[in-house]
Structure 1
Amino acid sequence: MSQSQPQPQPQSKSKSEQWQWENATAGAAAGFATVAAMHPLDVVRTRFQVNDGRVSTLPSYKNTAHAIFTIARLEGLRGLYAGFNPAVIGSTVSWGLYFFFYDRAKQRHSKNKEGKLSPGLHLASAAEAGALVCLCTNPIWLVKTRLQLQTPLHQTQLYSGLYDALRTIMREEGWSALYRGIIPGLFLQVSHGAIQFTAYEELRKGIIDFKSKDRKKDSESDDKLLNSVDYAILGASSKIAAVLLTYPFQVVRARLQQRPSSDGIPRYMDSWHVVKETARFEGVRGFYKGITPNLLKNVPAASITFIVYENVLKLLKMARRKD
């Protein structure tokens, strides 16, 4: 047997691993760009989500514009960027891991299918990636939520930053507290990501098919046919669908992740308790509190994410080809 026969397999594996890390790098860059541009709206959204109209330590905001103005006036730029560090870390890590796990899942599902995936397999790949990301990043999102809820109405600053928050939560509430909201978080990550990425992939294929009618296809034509405007439209459209269908999970998670009262008793005991109390006192509208700043943040943010992701990925591909 010739010694040269086994060599293609390691070479293929190396290219596959390099492609996965390119996806992770592009996703991380996209996540950082998204948070840096849209964080003040994230603060507003979180404060709307947890304000159930009953006992609250948060100021009362009439709408998104009023909330931004009030926070800027009372708390300054620091208030608008409360929780920024965990948001940057969480978003960068989440998007990097998401694209990494998503691409691995797609590669696994595409074996023996000539590289083409059905909508169902896109859905399964996105759901798998979402679940893994949620398990890895829930503590970061919990800290971000608590830092965003600190206002001048608190007599003392509860947490001075990311590290202090993690240390204080573990000391006062134990390790399990870092995973408060994990159940709605899993439902959110799996369903939201699955809906968004399935919509993105299907719309992307539709645009490529439409644009390629009058052009000769080659092995790299898909990347050449799409530009940043296409990626912006794809990202925004898929995000709107995902937000509208999964937003109640965000509200449930945010309410579960609030700091317990001074006697150590959480406001809500579990996800079902949040659902019952919200439905009883606020009705359906309660599950959509903060959706306006959420859409204002996430629709353009999704466009930024996919523009950065696709273009960084193109640059990495070009660099790889030169090597």
Structure 2
Amino acid sequence: MAGGESKAECDQRVARLWSRLGAKKKEHLDYNGLKKGLRKIDHPLKNADTMLQAIFRSVDTNGDGIIEYSEFRAFVDRAEQELWQLFKSIDRNQNGEIDKSELKAAFSKSGVTVSNSKLDEFFADVDTNQDGVITYPEWRDFLLFLSGYSSSDLHAVLSYYSATGNLNPEGDVHINDLQGLGTDHSFLRHYILAIRTFLHKFFPAHILTALLSSAHAETPQSAFARGPPVRDGELELEWLPIPRTVAMWMSFRYYEQKLTENTPQLGYFIAGGIAGAVSRTATAPLDRLKVYLIAKTGSPSPVVTAAKDGAPLKAAGRASRSLMDALNELWKAGGIRSLFAGNGLNVVKVMPESAIKFGAYESAKRAFARLEGHNDPKRLQPTSQFLSGGFGGMVAQCFVYPLDTLKFRMQCEVVEGGLKGNQLIAATARKVWNKNGIFGFFRGLPLGLIGMFPYAAIDLSTFEYLKRTLLARKAREHSCHEDDVPLSNFTTGAIGAISGGVSASVVYPLNVLRTRMQAQGTVLHPTTYNSVMDVARKTVQSEGIRGFYKGLTPNLLKVAPAVSISYVVYENSKRMLGLR
């Protein structure tokens, strides 16, 4: 027999597996029974529905919709023989063990390109006792159902593992979507801790301790166990004779994990908020200058006239003078304080905007996962992922849009000798409310929402193109796989700054129209508009096509410092908070 096992030992092992799958008291398994059995032993295939259906059809040789023991035994014999041959071909020194170097060499020899991180992850999952080598029993137990899915070669092994090996105990694929926010997703655990404190106030400690210890003591374990098994409402529990109170406690623990699995740790969230606040404050004068230039309307500037006359150097000189003239006007309106007008509102919205965007993004991912029929947010198609991100951005913008409107209008009401600070904010808010009610705070919102998807599409495609190009070049230089090329956070941030600048420039006309809709009727922008078409028509009439790009220069100038400052502050904030 394969691996030096006797026939009697093999018979006993297969019979035990058949029994553990739930077929002890019956002679067959249907599809639901097989799936239930795999959940019972916490096998990685327990939630891989598509793959499991293919395996079931392979085992059910007569196609009657049930698996007899004879069919199961024939499948196991065939699968183990294929896995034994593959194991021997990888084990170069024939010592009955596969080390990481042998596995890497085998992948390379078969033409399979696999990154070091993927290889380490696969090796760690197969090496169940973590002794640094893979024995045949470990190899066999992990890949037993491989032959029912595809041919048993290293290409198939990698494909099989990619679909099952990354499943966590709750059935979700383990992908660090929140790489920049940290990988310890325990933000809501602070709230769960409050619930636990509440329970301890109303129930004796010895009862809760007994419940918790019972839950741990009676949790079934297996060679595939990576944590407590999932218990959803569709899974019968006749195989787990536990008290109802313990089951309720374990359900509580399950939903605790479901609440926290996709939520960034509070420390990383705070670090990101600090970085955003400092970055926006540092670049506030440039943002203020941009809004000032957008709000100022009139005949074509000397810059445009010089450009039309074919004098680019003269136009560039006048452009710089125009920026300086604008800064002088802002300074006259209130000195240094005028340059930072509205920054408080801009900073206040950082945290809620990020939180709302993240929550809406996660909700959208789950909704699209249901539409795709697999209920797994981590297996979304690229289109669904893109739409989820766009939806998250739209929801966040709807919630913080009144603050944006208030900020723009406040900036356009700053005049020499006028109101300042909180008094100006309050007066501006009252003016909007008295004139248009709640709807006055949402003027121009459709333009912002319309621009969300083209901005995201251009940003994403540009970012991916630049990143792929850089990775390919570095991979050629270092003769390694692209996944093994290290990219620092600063490099990634620089790529993001470039892609963001490109996408912002493309959709900038929508930004100009939206800002003018929000700022209409103010001291700096007294013109009023009836509709989006009205603001577009008046912009063309007074300033030509170039009016749609007023303020673009300071908008682009703030990109590089904003990224650099955010990176430095974020890293130092993490260090200050004791985060990795």
Fold similarity call, TM over 0.5: yes
- In the alignment, what sits opposite 1:143? 406
- In the alignment, what sits opposite 2:448? 185
Check the 8 A contact 2:368/2:377 in 1, yes or no: no
Deviation at 1:253, TM superposition (A): 0.9
Q: Against the structure 1 CA distance between its residues 203 and 162, is the aligned structure 2 distance closer, same or farther, given a 3 Å change threshold?
A: farther
Instruction: Return the TM-score normalized by structure 2.
Output: 0.45
Deviates more, 1:272-281 or 1:22-31: 22-31
Q: Distance in 1 between matches of 2:253 and 2:509?
A: 49
Deviation at 1:214, TM superposition (A): 3.3
Q: Distance in 2 between matches of 1:299 and 1:50?
A: 24
Check the 8 A contact 1:278/1:286 in 2, yes or no: yes
Q: Against the structure 1 CA distance between its residues 83 and 30, is the aligned structure 2 distance closer, same or farther, given a 3 Å change threshold?
A: same
Say whether residues 1:37 and 2:285 are aligned partners. Answer: no
Q: Distance in 2 between matches of 1:11 and 1:211?
A: 42
- In the alignment, what sits opposite 1:58? none
- In the alignment, what sits opposite 1:97? 356
Q: Distance in 2 between matches of 1:22 and 1:85?
A: 22
RMSD: 4.0
Q: Distance in 2 between matches of 1:308 and 1:97?
A: 23
Q: Distance in 2 between matches of 1:246 and 1:18?
A: 31
SS in 2 for 1:152: coil
Cα deviations by residue, 1:96-131 (Å, 9 ceiling, x for unpaired)? 433443455456657667946655344212211121
- Amino acid aligned to 2:347: V
Q: 1:214 aligns with which of 463, 467, 480?
A: 480
Q: Distance in 2 between matches of 1:23 and 1:135?
A: 25
Deviates more, 1:181-190 or 1:22-31: 22-31
Structure 1 residues 151-300: aligned runs within 5 Å: 151-152=414-415, 156-157=418-419, 160-197=423-460, 199-200=462-463, 203=466, 214=480, 225-260=486-521, 267-300=528-561
Deviates more, 1:92-101 or 1:307-316: 307-316
Cα deviations by residue, 1:248-303 (Å, 9 ceiling, x for unpaired)? 111001111124279xx961112111112222332221111110011112343245
Deviation at 1:71, TM superposition (A): 2.0
- Amino acid aligned to 1:38: T
Deviates more, 1:185-194 or 1:306-315: 306-315
Deviation at 1:39, TM superposition (A): 0.6
Instruction: Return the TM-score normalized by structure 1.
Output: 0.76
Cα deviations by residue, 1:62-86 (Å, 9 ceiling, x for unpaired)? 4323322442355211110111221
Check the 8 A contact 1:236/1:302 in 2, yes or no: yes
Check the 8 A contact 2:432/2:440 in 1, yes or no: yes
Q: Distance in 2 between matches of 1:307 and 1:197?
A: 24
Cα deviations by residue, 1:179-237 (Å, 9 ceiling, x for unpaired)? 111111212344334543554466557666776773797xxx89xx3323213312212
Q: 1:13 aligns with which of 258, 263, 279?
A: 258
Q: Against the structure 1 CA distance between its residues 209 and 7, is the aligned structure 2 distance closer, same or farther, given a 3 Å change threshold?
A: farther
Q: 1:46 aligns with which of 291, 299, 305?
A: 291
Deviation at 1:157, TM superposition (A): 3.9
- Amino acid aligned to 2:338: G
SS in 2 for 1:19: coil
Check the 8 A contact 1:232/1:307 in 2, yes or no: no
Cα deviations by residue, 1:12-48 (Å, 9 ceiling, x for unpaired)? 4133253386775455334313211111111110111
Amino-acid identity (%): 26
Deviates more, 1:90-99 or 1:197-206: 197-206
SS in 2 for 1:236: helix
Any gaps of 5 or more consecutive residues in structure 1? 55-60
- In the alignment, what sits opposite 1:88? 347
Q: Distance in 2 between matches of 1:311 and 1:119?
A: 34
Deviation at 1:144, TM superposition (A): 0.5
Q: Against the structure 1 CA distance between its residues 200 and 42, is the aligned structure 2 distance closer, same or farther, given a 3 Å change threshold?
A: same
SS in 2 for 1:161: helix
Q: Against the structure 1 CA distance between its residues 207 and 261, is the aligned structure 2 distance closer, same or farther, given a 3 Å change threshold?
A: closer
Deviation at 1:7, TM superposition (A): 7.3
Q: Against the structure 1 CA distance between its residues 150 and 216, is the aligned structure 2 distance closer, same or farther, given a 3 Å change threshold?
A: closer
Check the 8 A contact 2:290/2:555 in 1, yes or no: yes
Deviates more, 1:8-17 or 1:243-252: 8-17
Check the 8 A contact 2:267/2:579 in 1, yes or no: no
Q: Distance in 1 between matches of 2:561 and 2:382?
A: 25
SS in 1 for 2:273: helix
Q: Against the structure 1 CA distance between its residues 134 and 51, is the aligned structure 2 distance closer, same or farther, given a 3 Å change threshold?
A: same
Q: Against the structure 1 CA distance between its residues 42 and 216, is the aligned structure 2 distance closer, same or farther, given a 3 Å change threshold?
A: closer
Q: Against the structure 1 CA distance between its residues 175 and 91, is the aligned structure 2 distance closer, same or farther, given a 3 Å change threshold?
A: same
Deviates more, 1:158-167 or 1:233-242: 158-167
SS in 2 for 1:49: helix
Structure 1 residues 107-118: aligned runs within 5 Å: 115=378
Q: Distance in 1 between matches of 2:542 and 2:392?
A: 35
Q: Distance in 1 between matches of 2:384 and 2:391?
A: 10
- In the alignment, what sits opposite 2:331? 72
Check the 8 A contact 1:23/1:100 in 2, yes or no: no
Structure 1 residues 53-68: aligned runs within 5 Å: 53=298, 62-68=321-327
SS in 2 for 1:174: helix
Q: Against the structure 1 CA distance between its residues 203 and 316, is the aligned structure 2 distance closer, same or farther, given a 3 Å change threshold?
A: farther
Q: Distance in 2 between matches of 1:311 and 1:299?
A: 19
Deviation at 1:161, TM superposition (A): 3.3
User: Which has the larger helix fraction?
Assistant: 1
Any gaps of 5 or more consecutive residues in structure 2? 1-236, 300-319
Deviates more, 1:75-84 or 1:23-32: 23-32
What is the total number of aligned residue pairs between the two structures?
A: 306
- Amino acid aligned to 2:447: P
SS in 1 for 2:263: helix
- Amino acid aligned to 2:431: T
Deviates more, 1:61-70 or 1:301-310: 301-310
Say whether residues 1:123 and 2:391 are aligned partners. Answer: no
Q: Distance in 1 between matches of 2:462 and 2:528?
A: 36
